[in-house]
């Protein structure tokens, strides 16, 4: 079947695409989110996500009139360059946007190896920060990321963009802090909380066993439930006048310390 050509900004399918980009409530209700860009979509397809619809601008898309591979039920649409630039969330996305079926993992779905490395974030609210942490988790080979009591939508376009597709390459589970703690304890995964109080330098802490590195928000840090559940408290020494780093930078430092110790 040939792709349907869309030439009007009032087209219902195009308006639905734009609504999915902007409204987290609609994404939750329909279980559908938007992926923009060739690289991100390739990671999404490789991870086995179901693609509902693909919108291509032949003038920009590297494949021209050729449709990218996806599911047999995927619908394809062609957009003019003017319309694509209107709906594209950012520039330089290779002329391709897709509507994708959400797939929300649960803790019991995780298949962790022996001595896993798990990243845990509590109460994260900035999609860009979460996306950047996911990117670091992928680079460090983390086995899972647990997003506890999240204040942002896992399928937020900003998050997907900031992760450069890592949201598809690393197993990510959204759950409550209580659920995460029970899960980690039941599997004898050591909980290390990043905090300033009563802490040791991160490089003096063993991360070669099953390890969960837990971080809170930059503004308020971790809640007491995590501090009390911790097996050890760790910190990144600050030599300057400020007392904190961006959460994504801190996460990268701690994840790569685990990589260093596990060489």
What's residue 70's pLDDT? 60
Look at 217 and 43; give whichever has higher pLDDT: 43
- Cα distance between residue 30 and residue 20, in whole Å: 9
List the one residue out of 205, 201, 195 whose CA is nearest residue 239: 201
- Cα distance between residue 34 and residue 147, in whole Å: 20
**What is the band of 93 on the pLDDT scale with cuts at 50, 70, 90?**
low
What's residue 1's pLDDT? 57
Q: Using the predicted structure, report yes or no on whether residue 39 has a pLDDT greater than 90.
A: no
Q: What percentage of residues in the chain have a pLDDT greater than 90?
A: 72
Instruction: Summarize pLDDT for 41-79 with one digit per residue, the tens.
Output: 989 999 999 999 999 998 888 765 445 656 678 899 999
What average pLDDT does this structure show over 166-174? 96
Domains 4-101 and 107-261 in one fold: no
What's residue 212's pLDDT? 98
Q: Could you say which architecture CATH assigns to the domain 4-101? A: 2-Layer Sandwich (3.30)
Half-sphere CA count of 5, side-chain side, radius 13 A:
6
Q: Could you say which architecture CATH assigns to the domain 107-261? A: 3-Layer(aba) Sandwich (3.40)
Relative to beta strand 200-201, strand 211-215 is unpaired
- What are the domain boundaries of the chain? 4-101, 107-261
- Cα distance between residue 20 and residue 208, in whole Å: 42
What's residue 241's pLDDT? 84
What average pLDDT does this structure show over 218-242? 90
Give the DSSP H or E segment for 78. strand 75-79
CB burial class (10 A; 0-12, 13-18, 19+) of residue 198? exposed
Alpha-helical regions (H) of 120-232: 127-139, 157-163, 166-169, 177-186, 224-229
Q: Do 63 and 188 contact (CB within 8 A), yes or no?
A: no
**What is the band of 192 on the pLDDT scale with cuts at 50, 70, 90?**
very high
Query: How does the average pLDDT of the chain come out, rounded?
Result: 91
Instruction: Summarize pLDDT for 1-26 with one digit per residue, the tens.
Output: 578 999 999 999 999 999 999 999 99
């Amino acid at each position: 079947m040939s792709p349907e050509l869309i030439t009007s900004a009032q087209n219902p399918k195009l308006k639905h695409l734009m609504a999915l980009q902007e409204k987290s409530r609609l994404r939750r209700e329909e279980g559908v989110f938007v992926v923009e860009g060739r690289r991100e979509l390739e990671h999404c397809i490789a991870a086995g996500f179901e693609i509902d619809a693909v919108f291509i601008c032949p003038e920009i898309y590297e494949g021209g009139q050729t449709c990218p591979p996806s599911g047999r039920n995927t619908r394809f649409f062609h957009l003019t360059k003017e319309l694509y630039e209107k709906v594209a969330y950012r520039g330089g996305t290779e002329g391709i946007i897709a509507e994708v079926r959400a797939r929300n993992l649960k803790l019991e779905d995780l298949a962790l190896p022996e001595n896993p490395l798990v990243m845990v974030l509590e109460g994260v609210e900035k999609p860009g920060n979460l996306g950047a942490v996911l990117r670091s988790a992928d680079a460090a080979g983390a086995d899972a990321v647990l997003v506890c009591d999240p204040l942002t939508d896992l399928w937020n376009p900003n998050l997907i963009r900031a992760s450069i597709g890592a949201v598809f390459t690393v197993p990510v589970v959204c759950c409550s802090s209580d659920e995460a703690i029970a899960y980690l304890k039941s599997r004898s995964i050591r909980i290390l909380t990043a905090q300033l109080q009563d802490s040791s330098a991160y490089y003096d802490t063993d991360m070669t066993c099953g390890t969960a590195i837990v971080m809170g928000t930059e503004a308020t840090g971790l809640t007491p439930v995590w501090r009390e559940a911790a097996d050890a408290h760790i910190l990144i020494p600050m030599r300057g006048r400020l007392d904190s780093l961006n959460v994504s930078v801190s996460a990268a430092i701690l994840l790569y310390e685990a990589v260093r110790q596990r060489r």
